[in-house]
Amino acid sequence: MAPAFPETDQCSEFSYDSDEDVPSDSFSLTALEEAVSKCISRKCNLIKLAEGGYHKVYNICSDDEPVNIVARVAAPAFPKDKVESEIATIQYLATHTNIPTPRVFGWNSNDGNPVGLEYMILEKISGVPASDVWDTLPLERKQVTVSEVADYIIQLFRLRFEAGGSLYNGPDVKEFVGPIVATPFYRALDGVVRFAQPVDRDLRPYRGPFENASAYLRSFLDAELHLIGDQREYILEHELDGDEGRLEQAIRVLKKAVQLSVVYPGDVCVSEPLTSPGQPFSLRMDDFRLSNVMIDAATGHVTGLIDFEGATVAPLWDCAYMPRWLQDPDEWDATYEGGPAEDRKILRDLFLEKVEEHDQTGEWIRALVRGRPFREFTDRLSFNVDVWVDQEEWMDQRMEWAKTHPGVGYPSMLSVGRR
């Protein structure tokens, strides 16, 4: 996603790939420098550290000396409350777990501020992203990383909430669960704007919070059905090549998926029994990639976790997932990073061993194994209409199964995930 013009000392922008003429979103680097200088009580300048589809990160320097602080600017491709939720998540983890997270120095979630976009000022975590060294890191150091990641994942899983959505801070910094920050509520996905005009206000009624897993699941589907009704002609032309038949089929499949979300939510898949039966939600990290795990390359110890955008309060079975970089490369939910299959097998077994040490209740392992078929469902929730049109057989199989097996995953997936 290249900017329309080179970044200057005064200004930068987020630009988007789109068939439509979607204007870039610019912001003032000068105003950002001033905001950071005021926050840390010393004059500073910015040096760009990283850039993604949804944010830009700047190192902070003062008197030509680096300061262990970064400034991060959020693209408005997210819902308006993305920054507030990410800050609340970081602060909640800092007070309720031993997970190393960056200290928050300041933020502004008003996109009408002098910078022009939402931003946050955070501690810069020491070390390097694990992804930068994973291919050459000795196996024994990878084992140190994986052991600590297992501990942090169980700490996340132990967190319990009565409703689903995303975390926010209240007036007295008392956290609460509010509207979810997740696809399909982003304006852009992977740098591509779906509609020229923002639709987040129209979709807000579907963002929760959610009282149960069924409400959580169907919110994504109801939002897509709403978009089809509101943007029918645009979707028909730009996503389905004008094929009315495929559009009607997609609507039919989406409505079946709504029905499936009622009878196939996986609510009981971690029973025997739940330790917190009145709080069936936990905290799910949206982006647990190696690039977001900072480590000391000399030892393998984790120095911190970063990038909490899109973290959600989700059903327990959706939170108990193995990091994709530990999955066998042939699995549907694996990722390209992580190294060869034989190394992943060693690390995966170690990960599961450490999880069992940290979770004496066995809830996480039960949720991992029994919840996998339901996570296959949630993996589809961010699909647009052009993908849903081909999912009818998949839906019909699970609808038929769920009639006689409530709360039990479709059998083709039940054995996947075991050692």
CA distance 77 to 182: 11
CA distance 345 to 265: 30
Would you say residue 321 has pLDDT above 50? yes
Q: How many CB atoms lie within 10 A of CB 138?
A: 9
Q: Are 239 and 384 in contact (CB under 8 A)?
A: yes
Phi, psi of 112 (to 5 degrees): -95, 10
**The pair of three-digit structure tokens given for residue 200, joined into one six-digit string:** 């987040």
Would you say residue 139 has pLDDT above 60? yes
Considering all CA atoms of the chain, what is the largest pairwise distance in Å, rounded to the nearest integer? 69
Mean of pLDDT values over 220-228: 93
Distances (CA, A) of 242 to 197, 206, 232, 235, 367: 21, 27, 10, 8, 42
Contacts of 140 (CB under 8 A, 6+ apart): 300
What percentage of the chain carries pLDDT values higher than 90?
57
Q: Which 3 state secondary structure label does DSSP give 1?
A: coil
Question: Residue 38's pLDDT band (boundaries 50, 70, 90)?
Answer: very high
Each residue's pLDDT tens digit, 322-371 = 999 999 988 888 888 899 999 999 999 999 999 999 998 999 998 998 88
Cα 132-95-274 angle, rounded to 5 deg: 95
Query: Can you give the pTM of this predicted structure?
Result: 0.89
Question: Residue 2's pLDDT band (boundaries 50, 70, 90)?
Answer: very low
**The pair of three-digit structure tokens given for residue 288, joined into one six-digit string:** 């647990």
Each residue's pLDDT tens digit, 233-256 = 989 998 899 999 999 999 999 999
Each residue's pLDDT tens digit, 379-405 = 888 888 888 999 999 999 999 998 888
CA distance 5 to 150: 43
Each residue's pLDDT tens digit, 100-137 = 999 999 999 987 899 999 999 999 999 999 999 999 99
CA distance 42 to 33: 10
Q: Is the dihedral of CA 192, 202, 263, 402 positive or negative?
A: negative
Domains and CATH numbers, the chain: 17-124 (3.30.200.20), 129-160+270-373 (1.10.510)
pLDDT at 9: 67
Q: Are 60 and 52 in contact (CB under 8 A)?
A: no
CA distance 415 to 370: 9
Indicate the DSSP class of residue 207: S
pLDDT at 417: 42
Would you say residue 319 has pLDDT above 80? yes
| C-alpha torsion angle, residues 73, 77, 78, 80 (rounded to 10) | 80
Per-residue burial over 140-174, b = 16 or more CB atoms within 10 Å of its CB, e = otherwise = ebbbbbbbbbbbbbbbbbbbbbebbbbbbbeeeee
**The pair of three-digit structure tokens given for residue 216, joined into one six-digit string:** 């959580």
Q: Is the dihedral of CA 71, 75, 78, 81 positive or negative?
A: positive
**The pair of three-digit structure tokens given for residue 296, joined into one six-digit string:** 């000391």
Would you say residue 56 has pLDDT above 80? yes
Beta bridge partners of 129: 294
**The pair of three-digit structure tokens given for residue 24, joined into one six-digit string:** 């870039």
Q: Which 3 state secondary structure label does DSSP give 71?
A: strand
